Amino acid sequence: MSSTPTGNGTELLVGIIARPHGLRGELVVEVRTDSPEERFAPGSVLAARRAGAPDGSLTVESSRPHSGRLLVRFVEAPDRIAAEGLRGTRLLIATDVLLPTDDPDEFHVHQLEGLRAELEDGSEVGTVREVVHGPGGELLVVARPELPDALVPFVRAIVPTVDLRAGRVVLTPPEGLLDAD
């Protein structure tokens, strides 16, 4: 997976600002991309969206790994006071800047949303509504007609086929995974 969708299909979430770190404007960022070195490279401009505030953009000045997250300095937040105002900001990029991957086993999250989910015998299960990043890995949220959504671990053993051209994912779920309970 490369990024998390924002819901509108034109932007992808690459990080969320958690809190300031230190006095010089560094911010702790929860990464939501497989390419943090690219997305948070110095000079990168990210769309910034926070509830209750107008949309804007932030320019990466520097970034470095720290305890499983990134510490990022933005040109627009030169000190802790400015950094405090960015808590909870969602950092986004436009999907049109993403380069297609040459690896047939890698997908951008937005490419998976809307795909038909079916079993190996071709029977339809539902539609991939979203991809959730959980502590144990990614889950496909499959919307099913007349049933609650199913959470399907996005691992090769359960999702052996992703066919973007045919608009489908093939599921081989273990017994009980798709039960309605």
Q: What average pLDDT does range 101-120 have in this prediction? A: 80
For residues 114 and 129, give the distance between their C-alpha atoms in angstroms, rounded to a whole number. Answer: 6
The residue count of the chain comes to 181
- DSSP SS3 for 47: strand
The domain segmentation of the chain, as residue ranges, is 4-97, 113-171
Q: What is residue 103's predicted lDDT score, i.e. its pLDDT?
A: 63
pLDDT in tens, 84-108: 999 999 999 887 766 666 666 677 7
Quote the pLDDT of residue 4: 47
What is the mean predicted confidence (pLDDT) over 30-42? 89
Q: Which two tokens stand for residue 125?
A: 């299960």
Report the distance separating Cα 23 and Cα 63, nearest Å: 16
The structure's pTM equals 0.62
What's domain 4-97's architecture? Beta Barrel (2.40)
* In CATH, 113-171 is 2.30.30.240: yes
